Amino acid sequence: LASKEVKKESSIIPITDTLSIGGKQLIVMAGPCSVESEEQIIASAMAVKEAGAHVLRGGAFKPRTSPYSFQGLEEEGLKLLAKARDLTGLPIVTEVVNPETAELVAEYADILQIGARNAQNFALLKKVGQLKKAVLLKRGMSMTIQEFLMSAEYIMSEGNQSVILCERGIRTFETATRNTLDLSAIPVLKEKTHLPIIADPSHGTGNYHYVAPMAYAAVAAGADGLIIEVHPDPEHASSDGPQSLKPAKFARMMAQLRLFAEAA
Ligand code: PEP
Ligand code: MN
């Protein structure tokens, strides 16, 4: 179902009445890794909206590598995201970590995120395939492109065709960056599938210094959008502070992206 052999024209995934992903416009999703407090998510939402982002990101259920790390505010976090949406008008993307809480997350979210650690959780993929919400599917950290497309297939074969793929970096021998953002996956996927593809240079690099250059490179490689971690106070973030942009740096990156779009 995801194959270009089945459907030649690129899919455009509707998110709200006025926003879709996969068209001509580059879509930017931005916000903190985790929702931490009302003050933090509202400040983040206002800052990313002001800079021109289209979607607010924020994790309420966090799939942490260590069980002792912050696990998220759960439903309280979803409520805070909804509040931020009411205030700014930005639709929200947030992660769903298991089939049991998928419907709860879908009551609040505009886009359901499947994280890298769950990219082959087939029960979860089938569950979101049965829901009527767009799904942002991240590539697993050790997944081939073919396996990535098969995970999309698990969602689509349950009836949900609104799948957005996300390249977020893979495990390689390199340790200078947290992951290796596989830019070549973007043109390869463009050749194989009609689904839109966005890039996540935040998780792809793990270091805020490298986020903007890799964002520009992903756009040059043909990405339909970006997902970027932005935090008002990265030094004190509950998760992923080292890769989070401060609002001013994010705004500069957005201005540069607009210049590239004008030049194109
Ligand atoms: C996230 O988006 O914060 C996240 C946990 O990402 P990934 O699943 O790509 O590691
Ligand atoms: Mn994160």
Residue 202 within any structural domain of the chain:
yes
Distance CA 220, CA 60 (A): 32
Residue 6 within any structural domain of the chain:
no
Pocket test for ligand 1, best of 34, 200, 205, 228 (most atoms within 8 A of CB): 200
Domain with 83, as residue range(s), is 13-263
Q: Which residues contact 3 (CB under 8 A, 6 or more apart)?
A: 149, 192, 193, 194
Q: What is the pLDDT of residue 249?
A: 98
- Is the model's pTM score more than 0.95? yes
Q: What is the pLDDT of residue 177?
A: 98
Q: Whose CA is nearest to atom 9 of ligand 1?
A: 116
Ligand 1 neighbourhood includes 190 CB (under 6 angstroms): no
Residue 7 within any structural domain of the chain:
no
Q: How far is the CA of 115 from the centre of ligand 1 (A)?
A: 5
Distance CA 85, CA 204 (A): 26
Q: Which residue has the tokens 């890799």?
A: 214
Q: What is the pLDDT of residue 92?
A: 98
Q: How far is the CA of 118 from the centre of ligand 1 (A)?
A: 10
Q: What is the pLDDT of residue 261?
A: 86
Q: What is the pLDDT of residue 263?
A: 86
Q: What is the pLDDT of residue 179?
A: 98
| 198 and 5 Cβ atoms separated by less than 8 Å | no
Q: What is the pLDDT of residue 262?
A: 87
Residue 24 within any structural domain of the chain:
yes
Q: How many domains does the chain have?
A: 1
Q: What is the pLDDT of residue 237?
A: 97
Both tokens of residue 9? 């024209």
Q: How far is the CA of 114 from the centre of ligand 1 (A)?
A: 8
Distance CA 115, CA 89 (A): 24
CATH of the domain at 35: 3.20.20.70
* Ion ligand 2: protein residues whose beta carbon lies under 5 Å: 33, 240
Residue 1 within any structural domain of the chain:
no
Residue 8 within any structural domain of the chain:
no
Helices (H), 130-207: 145-156, 185-192, 201-205
pLDDT per 10-residue tile (average), the chain, 264 residues: 96 97 96 98 98 98 93 97 98 97 98 98 98 98 98 98 98 98 98 98 98 98 98 97 98 96 84
Residue whose C-alpha is closest to residue 124's, from 113, 108, 110: 113
Pocket test for ligand 1, best of 29, 97, 117, 171 (most atoms within 8 A of CB): 117
| 229 and 240 Cβ atoms separated by less than 8 Å | yes
